[in-house]
Amino acid sequence: MKVRVLMYLMCGLLWGCSTGEVRRSAWSEDMPAQAGFAEHYQRDRQNAELQSLQEYLTWVERFYRGWDLYPTGWIDISRDLTTKLTDPSLKNQTRTKLARLGAAIAAEWAKDNTVRRITTRHIGIWGEALRKSAERAELPSTLDRVLDDVDNLLNSRIAADVITENRFYIVDDVLNEIH
């Protein structure tokens, strides 16, 4: 129950940010090329009617770098997830997958709320699953499952509501209620 309340609170805060001023800053070298996101934006005419390219790119940047209300972005999350990996090959493979995952999520999540297929709720669920899997030394398999989720969601092979808090790990609150 606590997890859901926290997720709803985060969604509300993020929605409030969407009405804020569009930030213009230098594109970070830690992020994928801006041109790739601009191409993705241009392919979605429905979104382009609702959101400017600058606003879209601002949300991509916020995904990667964080912002005032959520200071931890994908760059920091990716670094934190790979910190405990000691095998250089596994570390590089994981970084590559996290980069691919981040780009896919950011490209869709940055769109206007009414057209995007990846929501803040999805990101929270996937993020928590990746965090827990890193703690349990299960990151590679969970990362592959999240990549599959994103691919299946973007290609309409699964519905958005299939991705729930218990998709990867049973929520701790549920376990506490059982005992």
pLDDT digit string, tens, across residues 81-106: 999 899 999 999 999 999 999 999 99
**Residue 20 maps to a domain:** no
Taking 3-state DSSP, the helix, strand and coil percentages for the chain, each rounded to the nearest 5, stand at: 65, 0, 35
pLDDT tens-digit map of 42-63: 999 999 999 999 999 999 999 9
| pLDDT value at residue 17 | 46
Mean pLDDT of the chain: 87
Give buried/exposed letters for 84-94 (b at 16+ CB in 10 A, else e).
ebeeeeeeeeb
Cβ atoms < 10 Å from Cβ of 95: 15
**Residue 46 maps to a domain:** no
**Residue 127 maps to a domain:** yes
- Burial bucket for residue 2 (CB in 10 Å: 0-12, 13-18, 19+): exposed
| pLDDT value at residue 72 | 92
Count structural domains, the chain. Answer: 1
If we measure between CA atoms, which residue out of 159, 126, 34, 139 comes closest to residue 87?
Answer: 139
**Residue 33 maps to a domain:** no
As a whole-number percent, the residues of the chain with pLDDT over 90 amount to 74
Torsion from C-alpha of 147, 130, 61, 29, nearest 10 degrees? -90
Report how far residue 4's alpha carbon sits from residue 14's, in angstroms, rounded to the nearest whole number: 15
**Residue 123 maps to a domain:** yes
Residue 154 phi/psi, 5° resolution? -70, -25
Domain that holds residue 62: 2-8+52-178
Decide: 142 and 133 in contact? Cβ < 8 Å. Answer: yes
